[in-house]
Chain A
Amino acid sequence: MKTQKASITPLQFMFSITCFLRSSSLLSSFFAPISKTDSWLVVLIASVVCLPFLWAFIMLMKAFPGKNLIEINDAVFGRIAGKIISAIYLWFFLTLTSLNLRDLGGFVGKSIMLKTPQIVIITVFILLCAWAVSLGLDIVTRYSVVFVILSSIILVVTIAATSNHMRLSNFLPILRQPMKNIIQSTNIVSTIPFGELVIFLMIMPQVNIKPKKLGRYFLPGFFLGAFLITLVVARDIAILGNTITIFAQPSFETLRMVSFFEVLTHMEILFAILLIILFFFKISLLFYVSMLAMSYLFRLDSYKPLILPSAAIIVVYSLIIFKSKTKHLEVGRETAPFMWFIFEFLLPLLTLIIAYIRKLPQKEKDARSKEAASA
């Protein structure tokens, strides 16, 4: 198929994972109110809890090199069941894109463009993403390294600049929250940023990398991303303490504290710009993955004709998906972690188990060796 021609380097792949996670660190409002000052610990716990599932992703990638998630579904579940599962995945990808777009629209509308209607903000943004997507995966992931470095520099600078506001006592006592809250919070963290890495199963065939070396790039990328999220959350807790629970965008509030030489105040615009850039990366990657999934599902040669119609659908979807911000937060805290759990962990695990029972990767190998022998 034509759509799989582009290839990205392992380094781009690794930093795409980091950048993808880093762009989710701004959504700490989902779990921060639940685990409060233990949130930074929750991120660390979640990154460890996720490891078996990441291992499942990597095993799937290794078992089916050169195949993306839709093709794997076809191969493992058969044509009909595979197509149904793929269709559900497509819905999942589109929903993720719309949700992130809505987050962006909400944030921009509340922070820097107060009087601009949401639909303008969202439409302009999705058009930009559509342009990037139409140019291919290489373009979408090209700047992952730059974005990670940029956001890390801003992170370090803001930590240094706000160090006078930090109270280490804000962290104490550690693990004060009830066990139930910690577990719920861990569930949210592991599904909302970490589990979303399932989308990398879609672009795997386009990564110019040997299957054996996959873990060497996937895991460092993941840990770097998790580390950055931890730093962000810890910084916000150290500054805001228990008040972190009342803000929709804790990082935004934190950056309000930054002032250089008492002249350059209001550094939150830096945060807003960074957030827009990171969201651009995340949404265009998600958009690209949705388009790829759609073109594979319907067996199209190219996903390009789908881009603009899908962009229109995504805009409308993101506008009508929730009635209000509170509903959004509620779903983000209570419903999504369980629903996403199916797509991100149960299905990949199931795929792996069925593939193992049907001895699928071996069959593939046999077929390939037979082909090689006949050739």
Chain B
Amino acid sequence: MYTFLNKKLRYMLRQKEDEAQKKQPDNEEKLITGNLTADLELIREMMGTSSDIKVHEFKYGENSSQKGALLFIDGLVNNDVVTQSILKPLILSKSLNNYQAGEMKNTLDIVKQTVIYSGDIVERHTIGELIEGCLSGDTVFLSEGFDKALVISSKGWDKREVSEPQTEPVVRGPREGFTENFRTNTALIRRRIKSPHLRMDHLTIGKKTDTNVCVVYLEGVANPDIVDTVKVRLKTISTDSIIDSGYIEQYIEDHPYSIFQTIGYSEKPDVIASRILEGRIAVVVDGTPFVLTMPMLFVESFQTAEDYYIKPYFASMTRLMRFFAFFLTVSAPAIFVALTTYHQEFIPTTLLLTIAAAREGTPFPAFLEALIMVFAFEILREAGLRLPRPVGQAISIVGALVMGEAAVSAGIVGAPMVITIAITAVAGFVVPDQNDAASILRLILLFLASVLGAYGLVLGFLGILIHLASLKSFGVPYNSSLAFLKNMQDSYIRMPLWTMTKRPESIAKGDIQRKQYNTPPSSEIVNNAGSMEDN
């Protein structure tokens, strides 16, 4: 009943807002009049007197009889293109001279077809469209006496080079990373998947920012229902700004209240390409090197690109180790507190003596001690992250010394607790994707363990498992492969590549077969190869 009323109320409020918005006068819908001075005046009025907007008025055509204007934003356009490919041919072109005054109606078409050197010219009719083009780095060409204008592509702003990503370093594997530039990013994906079925559907989101967003997927491999879901959710985003792909993530995720993230991201084109090949859908957002992928499975956080580039044995071992590290980082302080407070009999006797000796003289109970240390660690981590790099190192040294040495020798915390927190901290960085969730879970489990001991700890873990089981990412169960239901070749361990004949069944649909047979690599030797050795 309450939810019903709430929904009704929200709906009514929203209707009012919508009406209010409709009433606002809309300058953008105005058509181009053909009177050059009037049009330019209108554009100036709408865009204000920003210093980076350049309006260049000039004369061209036969005997320089025709008035025209170029409109662009300095810094967004490539100046070479504007002067060499647009302005110069316009003023010098001879093809315009051959037409009589009576044929002037076609001038704009002639300019479009024979004068300007550009592969991307569009005709526009409203002022709003001109401004939009201008703002995204195109050059607008207006001409006296025409109720339309040409928008010529001339984008060319300073951008970061493709470089090695900061967040996902690899020992072996490609070192390219995405950049902030939208087209560079889509090109990096396109370069890896040269299939004609790779689709890139374009959207713009954000009323003020007008951010370019691209939905990338492999047609015939990605589940069309999920593709449609992604598109519908993207289209229903009604916000005025998209600054980073994190905005999009929070607007379209399935479980906004969960602490686990149900949408994956990566900064590496090879990772994104392999996920697209598994049937996932990538969302490239302009202005950020982080590309989103969905649906996400929980195991994805434990997979790294390198797992697939090295032999499966070590890859499987590291993956199991990552699971263990996640377990440790979530529960090590809680286990320590539960054991020392409730279940001393389960600690090996010699260790128990050591712990008791170390804890002798420390003022706080184990729970408080753990809490202090966990918080201290989080503060140090945050400080190390935010401070300028040279200072950051100093802070971590001071932190390590104060936390490690001084706190123990001053008798504020016991040495075993420092070790526990150190393990917790280091293990947390093994699974960076789930680090945020792990920090919160650690506190919850710590609290449960301090209240109910091992029993609380087990219940806490069961609760996490239930919560994980209830999560879905775009209709796909979040932990299906953890629960031994599907996609087992690539979850706890990674099987050899040649055994992975199928794409993940819960994600891909249609062309599900990666390769036909589950056969090991052939060990055939061509005769010549053998004889080479004899020589």
Contacts and interface: CB of A to CB of B under 8 A. Distances in A.
Interface of A: 9, 11-12, 108, 112-113, 116, 120-121, 124-125, 128, 131-132, 135, 138-139, 142-143, 145-146, 149, 263-266, 269, 272-273, 276-277, 280
A139 B484 contact: no
B485 A9 contact: yes
Interface string B434-456: 00000000000000000011111
Contacts of A9: 485
A68 B385 CA distance: 57
Nearest to B448: A124
B459 A125 contact: yes
A11 B469 contact: no
A313 B63 CA distance: 98
A272 B454 CA distance: 9
A265 B465 CA distance: 28
A273 B454 contact: yes
B454 A143 contact: no
Interface of B: 342-343, 345-346, 348, 350, 452-456, 458-459, 462-463, 465-466, 469-470, 479, 482-485
B96 to A, nearest CB: 70
Contact of B462 (A263, A264, A277): A277
A269 B346 contact: yes
B40 to A, nearest CB: 62
9 shortest interchain CB distances as A-B pairs: A145-B484, A142-B469, A139-B469, A135-B470, A276-B458, A263-B348, A266-B346, A269-B346, A132-B466
Interface SS of A by simple majority? helix
Given A11-B485, A113-B452, A277-B462, 4 more contacts: A113-B453, A139-B469, A143-B483, A146-B483
Interface SS of B by simple majority? helix
B455 A112 contact: yes
B484 A266 contact: no
Given A121-B455, A139-B466, A12 B485 contact: yes
B470 A139 contact: yes
Contacts of B465: 143
A121 B456 CA distance: 9
Nearest to B485: A9
A116 B343 CA distance: 13
Interface core residue of B342, B453, B482, B483 (most chain A CB under 10 Å): B483
Interface core residue of B345, B453, B466, B469 (most chain A CB under 10 Å): B466
Contacts of B459: 124-125, 128, 276
Contacts of A139: 466, 469-470
Interface core residue of A108, A112, A124, A145 (most chain B CB under 10 Å): A112
Contact of A108 (B455, B470, B484): B455
A100 to B, nearest CB: 15
B482 A113 contact: no
A131 B466 contact: yes
A264 B479 CA distance: 33
B484 A131 contact: no
B271 to A, nearest CB: 27
22 contacts: A11-B484, A11-B485, A112-B343, A116-B452, A120-B452, A125-B459, A128-B459, A128-B466, A131-B466, A138-B469, A139-B469, A143-B465, A143-B469, A146-B482, A263-B350, A264-B348, A265-B348, A266-B345, A269-B343, A272-B454, A277-B458, A280-B462
Given A121-B455, A135-B466, A145 B346 contact: no
Nearest to A114: B342
Contacts of B469: 135, 138-139, 142-143
B455 A113 contact: yes
Interface core residue of B345, B455, B479, B484 (most chain A CB under 10 Å): B455
A135 B465 CA distance: 12
B63 to A, nearest CB: 79
Given A135-B469, A139-B470, A128 B485 contact: no
Contacts of B343: 112, 269
Contacts of A11: 484-485
A128 B484 contact: no
B454 A146 contact: no
